[in-house]
Amino acid sequence: GAVVSQHPSWVICKSGTSVKIECRSLDFQATTMFWYRQFPKQSLMLMATSNEGSKATYEQGVEKDKFLINHASLTLSTLTVTSAHPEDSSFYICSARDGVSEQYFGPGTRLTVT
């Protein structure tokens, strides 16, 4: 149980384009989902927390207009990186919890912006 998937696992996009990453909880209803960013050999950096049907809460320093988060259902959250630039290249990881559990993480999405 407690499986979280992400799609795509790896994406390359050109500078200036937008890319969407999906996060799904496969066997439980995720009332809360989290989006993290991780640079090589560094720990997780929380970007935002989203509750189903509500606007996401962004961490300080994270641009809301650049990283659009939608948590439209209890099993799906999406992160859209708008007008991507090479400095947005990173490993993006989502996690989910059902309100009583701890966080279960997805496998991550590697974004490369050329």
User: What residue ranges bind other proteins (CB under 8 A)?
Assistant: 2, 4, 6, 32, 34, 42-44, 46, 49, 91, 93, 95, 97, 99, 102-108, 110
Are 38 and 24 a contacting pair, CB within 8 Å? no
Closest separation in Å from C-beta 65 to other proteins: 23
3-state secondary structure of 36: strand
Closest separation in Å from C-beta 83 to other proteins: 26
* Tokens, residue 36: 């993290």
For residues 19 and 96, what is the distance between their CA atoms, to the nearest angstrom? Answer: 21
Closest separation in Å from C-beta 72 to other proteins: 19
Query: What are the helix (H) ranges across 45-114?
Result: none
Closer to other proteins by Cβ: residue 58 or 82? 58
Closer to other proteins by Cβ: residue 93 or 113? 93
For residues 28 and 12, what is the distance between their CA atoms, to the nearest angstrom? Answer: 30
Closer to other proteins by Cβ: residue 82 or 91? 91
